[in-house]
Amino acid sequence: MGIKKILDGNIQVVDNIDSWEKAIEVGANPLIEKGKIKYGYVEGIIQNIKTLGPYVILIPGVAMPHARPDENVLESSLALLKINEGVKFTEDTDKVYLMFILAAKNSDSHIEIIEKLTDVLGDDEKIEKLIESKTLEEIINNL
C-alpha cells in the first residue's frame, strides 16, 4: 500500500493558518469526520507539544504531530495538511509546510504507515516538490 492509499483522501491545503495548534486541529479533522480518531487525541497531541516542545518537527519544513496510542484512536491512520505560507511552532523553529498527522491505535498497527512515510521523508526532491506544491492536485501528483 502506497502513501496515497494510506492518506485515503485525508489531504488538505490551506494558504495560511493562525497557529500550530489550529494547524493540528484542521489537519486532524478528516480523521475525526471519518471516525478514525476522537477529538481527545488532538488535545493530547497539543498538550504533549506544549509540555515537551516541538518534538514533532522531523526535518526542516515537515512535522508529524502524534501522541501515544490511546482510547481516542479508533483506527491507525494518517492525514496531511499543506500550509502554503507555513506555520512556526516557536520563534526558534523554522516554518512547517507539511504536517502529517499520525494516529496509532496500538504500538504495532502504524508500522506500515511509518515505513511509507519514511520513504517520502527520505526523498529530498519529493519533499521539495511537496513544499512547493500549492494545490491539492499538485500535492497528490507529487506524492
Q: Where are the domains of the chain?
A: 3-142
Contact 81, 23 (CB under 8 A): yes
> Average pLDDT in the 92-114 region?
89
Nine-digit cell at 28?
A: 486532524
pLDDT in tens, 7-21: 989 999 999 999 999
Mean pLDDT of the chain: 94
Dihedral, 31, 32, 36, 40 alpha carbons, nearest 10: 120
- Predicted model pTM: 0.94
Per residue in 46-78, pLDDT (tens digit) is: 999 999 999 999 999 999 999 988 999 999 999
* CATH class name, domain 3-142: alpha beta
The C-alpha atoms of residue 9 and residue 31 are separated, in whole angstroms, by 10
- Please, is 48 exposed, middle or buried when counting C-beta atoms within 10 Å of its C-beta (0-12, 13-18, 19+)? middle
